[in-house]
Amino acid sequence: MALALLNTLSSYSQEKNTFTKPAPHGDWSISYNAGINMDYDKNTGYKISMELGFSESPSRELLLNLSSSAIPVSHSTGYSLLECSIGPRFLLFKDKILFLEGNIGAQINNRTREYYKWDYGYNGTSTQTRSGFYFAAGVGAKIHISGNNSFLLRVKYNTTVPYSEGLTYLGAQFGLDFNTSEPVRNSKIENKKFSLSIGGGINSPYDPDGYSNSGKGVYLIEGSYQTGQKNEVFLEASYSEINVNYHAENTGMLDINFGPRFYINKSALSSFIEFGGGVYILTKDDGSENDPVQPGINIGTGFTGRLNSLMALFLKGKIHILFTENLSFPPYSSLAGGLRFNL
């Protein structure tokens, strides 16, 4: 079915001028992808990935891929995968739409089983971790949308050596690609140095030693100042609700952080990477004598979609690392979106 869809796109590209134009050639690119996986036992799950690319030539790219997958097997057992790989992509034919790609790297496979801790009265988890050499090969299409942006669609076969140490599965993903080729400049946007962003989303705390931490919501407000054509600094305040299970109640955490943001491209769809550092403050008493204020850092990536010269949509994911052994401050990841106002 997926191959039939790729053939349809290729045939359609021969008829419509919109798709016959290959993706613009830039030195660097970044893409965000999501899709589904299916193993040999027909268990299905999801996969998300981020990919950095370098264009060695108009028909060949070198890719660094970071991905995370989850495949549940039953209501109490499942696999979570972390993969890091590198490999080439070959853009085929004159229109450079269809491609072949291959990857080699490492796969970390966590098999998690949930059980009930009768002594403590809550669910716990046990995790068995294995790792192996990761190999993948796939076919797909890269369709130029506009400016610096392309749409990606691909099917890949993924396996490991030794076979028993990892998980073999078939995956299908779609995504957006952003490259650094120069776009048409928009003076109305460039003349606005300040912006204000408001949004919300979800968080997912790290679960050390099977404490069964769980996340709820995250809410943020941010101000930023443009320091260059593709650079800006930001000051962000966010509030996260996290359930630290051994407390059996929600813990509120306020995060105030500051840092730089670097854009891969600036156009109707723009991608960025950001780094932040600051303080994390508990807003509820955790019943301990620990300091309720702890330092931490975060790294994130995301993209903005311009609506007009005043407003844009944004979506970004971040990983937060806190410099403390206090279990009330677990490391966590967050995914948030909202509106950005250019002032």
Q: Is the alpha carbon torsion for 231, 23, 307, 301 positive or negative?
A: negative
Say how far apart CA 154 and CA 134 lie, in whole Å.
18
Q: State residue 91's pLDDT score.
A: 93
Q: State residue 10's pLDDT score.
A: 47
Average pLDDT over residues 88-106: 93
Q: Is the pLDDT of residue 265 over 50?
A: yes
Contact criterion met (CB below 8 Å) for 131 and 109? yes
Q: Is the pLDDT of residue 247 over 60?
A: no
What 3 state SS string does the chain have? CHHHHHHHHHHHHHHCHHHHCCCCCCCEEEEEEEEEEEECCCCEEEEEEEEEEEEEECCEEEEEEEEEEEEECCCCEEEEEEEEEEEEEEECCCCCCEEEEEEEEEEEEEEEEEEEECCCCEEEEEEEEEEEEEEEEEEEEEEEEECCEEEEEEEEEEEEECHHHCCCEEEEEEEEEEECCCCCCCHHHHCCCEEEEEEEEEEEECCHHHCCCEEEEEEEEEEEEEEECCEEEEEEEEEEEEEEHHHCEEEEEEEEEEEEEEECCCCCEEEEEEEEEEEEEECCCCCCCCCCEEEEEEEEEEEEEECCCCEEEEEEEEEEEECCCCCCCCCEEEEEEEEEEEC
Q: State residue 255's pLDDT score.
A: 93
Segment among 3-17, 70-84, 114-128 with least mean pLDDT: 3-17
Higher-confidence residue of 128 and 187: namely 128
Higher-confidence residue of 252 and 339: namely 339
Same-fold call for 2-179 versus 187-342: yes
Residues 6+ apart with CB under 8 A from 191: none
Q: State residue 333's pLDDT score.
A: 87
Segment among 8-22, 109-123, 128-142, 205-219 with least mean pLDDT: 8-22
Say how far apart CA 31 and CA 51 lie, in whole Å.
5
Q: State residue 78's pLDDT score.
A: 84
Q: State residue 77's pLDDT score.
A: 82
Q: What's the CATH number for 187-342?
A: 2.40.160.20
The mean pLDDT of the chain is 82
Q: Sketch the domain layout of the chain as residue ranges.
A: 2-179, 187-342
Q: Is the pLDDT of residue 48 over 80?
A: yes
Higher-confidence residue of 180 and 60: namely 60
* Whole-structure pTM value: 0.74
Q: Is the pLDDT of residue 12 over 60?
A: no
- pLDDT band, residue 164 (cuts 50/70/90): confident
Tell me: domain 2-179, CATH 2.40.30.170, correct?
A: no
> Quick one: what percent of the chain has pLDDT higher than 70?
79
What is the chain's length?
Answer: 343
Q: Which of 32-36, 111-115, 118-122, 146-150 has the highest mean pLDDT?
A: 32-36
322-343 tens-digit pLDDT: 888 777 788 888 889 999 998 8
Higher-confidence residue of 138 and 282: namely 138
Higher-confidence residue of 303 and 12: namely 303
Q: State residue 121's pLDDT score.
A: 56
